[in-house]
A and B are shown apart, each in its own frame.
Chain A
Amino acid sequence: MDALGLNHYLLLSALLFGIGVIGVLIRRNAIMVLMCLELIFNAANINLVAVSRFRPDLAGQIFTIFTITVAAAEVVIGLGLVIAMFRNALTVNVDEIHLLKG
């Protein structure tokens, strides 16, 4: 293991993805859920950048810039939804929001 190889990046990305997924699944606070979603995004971004670095192709890095941009917009919408949710239910605790219960 002389230098950082692609596998290290992929491993980091996988860990980050796993933390993000678990965070999404277990956190009760909607904002925390959104933040964990960001982790999942960024895990994907790391994947894209790393694969792009180890291959003679820049498309992955450019695609990542787009992704970050779109992710920013997505966070804006997500936070907007949380605020709207808070106004209706007076809580941001996703446990207490179960309108979809069958």
Chain B
Amino acid sequence: MLEYFWLIPLIPLVGVTINGLFASRFIRNENVTGIIASGCMLLAFLIGAGAFVQLAGLPVAERNVQIELYDWLDAGVAHMHDNEAGVTTARFRVSFGFQFDELSALMVLVVTGVGFLIHVYAIGYMKHDPPDPGYYRFFTYMNLFAAFMLILVLGSSYAMMFIGWEGVGLCSYLLIGYYYQKKSAGDAAKKAFVVNRIGDAGFLLGLFAIFFTFGTLDYDGVFAGAAHYSAGAGVLTFITMMLLVGAVGKSAQIPLFVWLPDAMEGPTPVSALIHAATMVTAGVYMIVRSNVLFSLAPTTMMVVAAIGALTALFAASIAMVQNDIKRVLAYSTVSQLGYMILACGVGAYAVGIFHLMTHAFFKALLFMAAGSVMHALHGELDMWKMGNLRKTMPITHKTFLVGTLAIVGVPGLAGFFSKDEILWNAWAGTHGSAWLWAVGTLVAGMTAFYMTRMLLLTFYGNSRMDEHTEQHVHESPPVMTYPLIVLAILSVIGGYVGIPANLQLGPLAALHERIDITRWLEPVTSGTRAQEAPGTGDEEHTAAVAAAPLQIVGAIGEPVTVVLQEERSEQAGHQDHTAMEWTLMLISTAVALAGIGLAYRVYAGGGVADEPFKRFAAPYRVLWNKYWVDEAYDAVFVNRIKDLGRGLWVLDDALVDGTVNGIANATLQAANASVEFDTRVIDGSVDGGAGVFWSGSRVLRALQSGYVQNYALIISVGVFVLVSAYLFF
């Protein structure tokens, strides 16, 4: 199976081909289309799972399978920068290659696994009465998205990642604008595309800088080349900052997060798959993949951590007061992505991926459960028009409850483990600090608050639906509820692949011995794999590289280094850590429970609006208006660009069009003059000549009377005249 891993991204493309070309014309069966699309995802998942198992069976050093399908770009010699030899040249050569290592394998399982469940869910969700003619288009785009996402995570070079990066952006655009007849959906799609473009520009600059610096875009070559640089090198800071811009765009961080809440205009399965579980995590994946570079740029790491923490806080605070069920989840996603970025920023890359995974489970679950509610309520999004749905929608309610508990971080569920790991690393990680931890903990409390609020408003209290809607409320069909159940199970057990150090007791310790996500990802996240890569250069560098891992591994933070620390017999320090970790864990759990409690106090009564918050009218209004970020962007950028456009239009109208129209007018005038000349002079003279002959012939015609005697008379007169002339002159 492992040798066929490159088929994984190609299989969804088969679905794209079948559904895209034949479904609406020849197949014309929604179920068949849905089954083809889901089947492709399932097949990709099975291959991915098989390859994953085989990869796990290999020795650690060999867990990086690469394949080059063909030479994609070979653009000849280009300039590059070398810190030793000055400016040299390198060949710009990119092969269409895939790479299957621990990180890619995990991402493949998340993308195809969650993706498959969402595809199955969409079969039911997208079915309408009367049938939606875009049904086939929807599944074509979904499969196309999966293909690009898999290329993104499986590519063996930054160029391949860029293909996937742009491809998922395209699919995101297409699917946000799926209901293109709705203006708001079209606007949201455009907004997402444009905002992403800003990030993509940064990413692209990063790629240019990478090639300029390292002479290659292959991960192995880049990471091996990075060993030549000392920490804090300016060029690496530049590269990582540019990559960060890309990640900020794709993963919806401050300041480019504005597109994600609007992206909820797309169908709910799209929100679940693209805008919660997979695509938006591409930025996190990219940072983790580039961890060798980021670890060498401490300045960037600080920025990454700060952006992550601020975004988490910012988005969570907005989510606390929104009423649109999908928007709350959207801001929640931004906030959770902030957590992941924060984890990367403090050097805990594996933890970032860990949270990425658990978040994919419970956020996809929450979105799909919210979609299930919308499905039952004819597309109602306002939580104040729901309520008491737990009786009528028991499965949706229970799975939503599980998802809520998981994201809130109730001990024992997936979110608890990954969030706790992030908070611990925010405190104790290489780049961690107390205030990052404090912000993270505060966000945990806010998360608990808004999720509990949402749960209570939607499923508990009194029904606030109108008569007609209430009569038609129904539980969703099994095709929608089964994926929810599977994801609910994953949301419960997903966290046990990364048990924190202080909880490694008894059976959990045994489990930790067998399965641990940080240990699994360590060859990638510690950078050791990259240092072992061949072609590092001369002996001297190899020696320097060999010394590097210890330093970098030491920089990763507690979860990764715990084994090393044990080896180093730093038992005392370990004890300290454990005590501290317990303390922090208890605090964050307490904060989360406090958030739940507060929300319960305010909203459990049901039926009251945000009354308690009217007392804090000013902050409430700030949050309700989302800090006026959109308005500020409109004022500062959008409207200025519009003004520029308008100005250019005026310029175009006056100058360019003026010139063109002037020339046109002049030509017209000349043509008119020419016409006048033609009609008057040329035609006049021709007609005049004709007229002369015309009137002349009219006179002469009279002679041709046809009477023979006239002719005879003329002859006679003529003869008479001639003879007279002859005789007398």
- Residues of A whose CB lies within 8 Å of any CB of B are 21, 24-26, 33, 94-95, 97-102
Q: How far is the CA of A97 from the CA of B705 in the complex (A)?
A: 11
Cross-interface CB contact of B706 among A21, A24, A25, A101, cutoff 8 Å: A101
A98 touches B705 (CB 8 A): yes
B706 touches A26 (CB 8 A): no
Given contacts A21-B716, A25-B716, contact A100 B709 (CB under 8 A): no
B712 touches A25 (CB 8 A): yes
1/0 contact trace for B706-729 toward A, CB 8 Å? 111101110010000000000000
Since A25-B712, A100-B708, A102-B704 are in contact, a sample of 4 more A-B pairs with Cβ atoms closer than 8 Å, ordered by chain A residue number, is A33-B709, A98-B705, A98-B707, A100-B711
Q: How far is the CA of A26 from the CA of B708 in the complex (A)?
A: 11
Contacts of B707 in A (CB 8 A): 94-95, 98, 101
Cross-interface CB contact of B704 among A24, A94, A100, cutoff 8 Å: A100
Q: Is B25 an interface residue (CB 8 A)?
A: no
Q: How far is the CA of A25 from the CA of B713 in the complex (A)?
A: 6
20 pairs, A vs B, C-beta closer than 8 Å: A21-B716, A24-B712, A25-B712, A25-B713, A26-B709, A33-B709, A94-B707, A94-B709, A95-B707, A98-B705, A98-B707, A100-B704, A100-B706, A100-B708, A100-B711, A101-B704, A101-B705, A101-B706, A102-B701, A102-B704
> Majority SS of interface residues in chain B?
helix
Q: How far is the CA of A97 from the CA of B709 in the complex (A)?
A: 10
Contacts of B704 in A (CB 8 A): 100-102
Contacts of A98 in B (CB 8 A): 705-707
Q: How far is the CA of A16 from the CA of B711 in the complex (A)?
A: 21
Name the residue on B nearest A28 (C-beta).
B709
Q: How far is the CA of A1 from the CA of B716 in the complex (A)?
A: 32
Q: How far is the CA of A41 from the CA of B716 in the complex (A)?
A: 15
Q: Is B703 an interface residue (CB 8 A)?
A: yes
Name the residue on A nearest B703 (C-beta).
A102
A102 touches B706 (CB 8 A): yes
Given contacts A21-B716, A25-B713, contact A97 B701 (CB under 8 A): no
1/0 contact trace for B661-681 toward A, CB 8 Å? 000000000000000000000
Contacts of A99 in B (CB 8 A): 706
Q: Please tell me the number of chain B residues within 8 Å of chain A, measured between CB atoms.
A: 12
- Residues of B whose CB lies within 8 Å of any CB of A are 701, 703-709, 711-713, 716
Contacts of A100 in B (CB 8 A): 704, 706, 708, 711
Contacts of A33 in B (CB 8 A): 709
A25 touches B709 (CB 8 A): yes
Name the residue on A nearest B713 (C-beta).
A25
Name the residue on A nearest B711 (C-beta).
A100
Q: How far is the CA of A25 from the CA of B708 in the complex (A)?
A: 9
Contacts of B711 in A (CB 8 A): 100
B701 touches A24 (CB 8 A): no
Could you say which of B706, B709, B713 has the most chain A C-beta atoms within 10 Å of its C-beta?
B709
Could you say which of B706, B707, B708, B712 has the most chain A C-beta atoms within 10 Å of its C-beta?
B708
Q: How far is the CA of A24 from the CA of B716 in the complex (A)?
A: 10
Given contacts A25-B713, A25-B716, A102-B701, contact A94 B706 (CB under 8 A): no
Contacts of B706 in A (CB 8 A): 98-102
Contacts of A94 in B (CB 8 A): 707-709
Q: How far is the CA of A98 from the CA of B709 in the complex (A)?
A: 10
Contacts of B708 in A (CB 8 A): 94, 97, 100
- Give A62 Cβ to nearest chain B Cβ, in Å: 27
Name the residue on A nearest B719 (C-beta).
A21
Q: How far is the CA of A24 from the CA of B709 in the complex (A)?
A: 7
Q: How far is the CA of A100 from the CA of B705 in the complex (A)?
A: 7
Contacts of B705 in A (CB 8 A): 98, 101-102
- Give B697 Cβ to nearest chain A Cβ, in Å: 9
Q: How far is the CA of A33 from the CA of B711 in the complex (A)?
A: 14
Q: How far is the CA of A25 from the CA of B709 in the complex (A)?
A: 5
Name the residue on A nearest B705 (C-beta).
A101
Contacts of B701 in A (CB 8 A): 102
Q: How far is the CA of A98 from the CA of B708 in the complex (A)?
A: 7
Contacts of A102 in B (CB 8 A): 701, 703-706
Contacts of A24 in B (CB 8 A): 709, 712
Name the residue on B nearest A33 (C-beta).
B709
Contacts of A26 in B (CB 8 A): 709
| Nearest 6 A/B pairs, CB to CB | A102-B704, A101-B706, A98-B706, A100-B706, A25-B713, A98-B707
Contacts of B712 in A (CB 8 A): 24-25
Name the residue on B nearest A96 (C-beta).
B707
Q: How far is the CA of A99 from the CA of B708 in the complex (A)?
A: 10
Name the residue on A nearest B707 (C-beta).
A98
Q: How far is the CA of A36 from the CA of B716 in the complex (A)?
A: 14
- Give A101 Cβ to nearest chain B Cβ, in Å: 3
Contacts of A101 in B (CB 8 A): 704-707
Name the residue on A nearest B702 (C-beta).
A102
Q: How far is the CA of A43 from the CA of B704 in the complex (A)?
A: 30
Contacts of B716 in A (CB 8 A): 21, 25
Name the residue on A nearest B708 (C-beta).
A94
Q: How far is the CA of A76 from the CA of B397 in the complex (A)?
A: 133
- Give A61 Cβ to nearest chain B Cβ, in Å: 26
Could you say which of B701, B703, B712 has the most chain A C-beta atoms within 10 Å of its C-beta?
B712
Name the residue on B nearest A26 (C-beta).
B709
Name the residue on B nearest A22 (C-beta).
B716
- Give A9 Cβ to nearest chain B Cβ, in Å: 19
Q: How far is the CA of A100 from the CA of B712 in the complex (A)?
A: 13
Q: How far is the CA of A95 from the CA of B704 in the complex (A)?
A: 14
Q: How far is the CA of A70 from the CA of B302 in the complex (A)?
A: 141
- Give A39 Cβ to nearest chain B Cβ, in Å: 14
Q: How far is the CA of A24 from the CA of B708 in the complex (A)?
A: 10
Q: How far is the CA of A76 from the CA of B711 in the complex (A)?
A: 23
Q: How far is the CA of A53 from the CA of B703 in the complex (A)?
A: 43
Q: How far is the CA of A48 from the CA of B658 in the complex (A)?
A: 98
